[in-house]
Structure 1
Amino acid sequence: MTDPALALTDVELALDGNAGRVEILHGVSLTVARGETLGMVGPSGSGKSSLLMLMGGLEQATGGTITALGQRLDTMDEDALARFRRDHMGVVFQSFHLIPTMTALENVATPLELAGDADAFDKARAELVAVGLEGRAGHYPSQMSGGEQQRVALARAAAPRPDILLADEPTGNLDETNGSAIVDLLFSLRDRHGATLVMVTHAPALARLCDRVVTMRDGRLETQAAAA
């Protein structure tokens, strides 16, 4: 594969807990092409979310190499990782992670402001329009439904036009109607910005929308297949 968006080789992850050292990931190797949409499935505790966090530089691997857009994430310090995420990645979590003291508009504008974008609020407003929340720009997270909060989170992730979009169970806290709407928005944002999308999901129907699906089990990559 020429110039992949993500390349992981023999990745290991072990964490120290009260009961001692816990092995989370065991020699995972995976490559994601630029522009590809990859779904990650598997039972709870299989390592899906941990692998996604490594891809985003939100956890440090204890072994192996992780390359994103030609840059080695596993050798970067925290400041370099934060800059890389700011410039190249958008992350969407199951639990929204909005700043409660900021309005929807301010939440979406924050990553743009941190990047020094002089048009941060204009671009943030345009992203809220794209997710159908132009009328909620001045509302705080506590004044919005779960579906609306996830739309704001999507707008915030997409606003900097990331090369890589990572989504960890983006519909996990939503009912079926809101979840379906978020899926449609996620894929439309991917198409609009041309991003590579990697998504962890428990929903088989959602995984089938991806170009390729990988299955995790017991911290290992079990299967890889084109989506049905």
Structure 2
Amino acid sequence: MTDTAISLDNVSLRLRGNAGPVDILHGITLDVTQGETLGLIGPSGSGKSSLLMLMGGLETATAGKITALGTDITHLNEDALARFRRDNMGIVFQSFHLIPTMTALENVATPLELANIPDAFERAQAELDAVGLGTRAGHYPSQLSGGEQQRVALARASAPRPKLLLADEPTGNLDETTGAAIMDLLFSLRDRHGATLIMVTHSPELAQRCDRTIRLRDGRIEATE
């Protein structure tokens, strides 16, 4: 069995813009080892989030090959990609993306129910307990602070016990103190479930806690640190 969690082979991404095609990523080749924590860093517009979206199957590569957990996801259709993400990935966004009409407990339980896990609500409650929000399970997102909403998003991402945990600026919308608490939670969830963690960050403190960082500039890998 391979010890590579994600492999990118000469991957490029071109998107359509108002003025015509825009080249976002150019010939990215990268291997991420299972259990590794990788930080994607670089200036705004360097392609960090686009690279993470490719790894998560949320964008489709224009060229090259992406292999995740031994599966070539490059040309999977939307349904197959959705199933692959459901079974293998947890994704945390900067803007939380909670469902406003659902309570914290229901938000966390949703991916478990979609995966037909029988004890979905029990596991969801355990995940909320793990991020310190056990007593807020019945609250809706509008009743929670930004830090609490991100905790719910972390619990939702980790509840299915994914092999891959992808985070796009997980502390970007939070103040320094709250961001530090979320950072600690993110790493504790990684350790608890043994996941491979790949994150986009502008935070030097967060980058320093990664096993390795990849610096991007103008859609290319500029350095590995």
Task: Render the CA deviation track for 1:79-110: whole Å, top value 9, x for unaligned.
Answer: 00000000000000000000000000000000
Structure-2 residue corresponding to 1:36: 36
- Which residues of 2 match residues 1-228 of structure 1 at below 5 A? 2-225=2-225
TM-score, normalized by length of structure 1?
0.98
- SS of equivalent residue, structure 2 residue 60: coil
Matches of 2:62 and 2:54, distance apart in 1 = 10
Matches of 2:51 and 2:36, distance apart in 1 = 17
Q: Is the 8 A contact 1:158 1:189 kept in 2?
A: yes
Tell me how far 1:75 sits from its aligned partner. Answer: 1.7
- The alignment covers a number of residue pairs equal to 225
Amino acid at match of 2:165: L
TM-score, normalized by length of structure 2?
0.99
Tell me how far 1:14 sits from its aligned partner. Answer: 0.3
Matches of 1:176 and 1:40, distance apart in 2 = 20
Matches of 2:3 and 2:64, distance apart in 1 = 19
Matches of 2:134 and 2:9, distance apart in 1 = 43
Amino acid at match of 1:122: E
Tell me how far 1:3 sits from its aligned partner. Answer: 3.1
Matches of 1:223 and 1:153, distance apart in 2 = 31
- SS of equivalent residue, structure 1 residue 22: strand
Q: Is the 8 A contact 1:131 1:155 kept in 2?
A: yes
Amino acid at match of 2:209: L
Amino acid at match of 1:222: E
Tell me how far 1:2 sits from its aligned partner. Answer: 4.2
Amino acid at match of 2:49: S
Backbone CA RMSD of aligned residues: 0.9
Matches of 2:201 and 2:96, distance apart in 1 = 15
- Runs of 4+ displaced beyond 2 Å: none
Q: Structure 1: where are the runs of 5+ without partners?
A: none
Tell me how far 1:18 sits from its aligned partner. Answer: 1.0
Amino acid at match of 1:218: D
Q: Is the 8 A contact 2:2 2:70 kept in 1?
A: no
Matches of 2:2 and 2:122, distance apart in 1 = 36
Amino acid at match of 1:176: E
Identical counterparts, % of pairs = 74
Amino acid at match of 2:173: N
Matches of 1:129 and 1:208, distance apart in 2 = 28
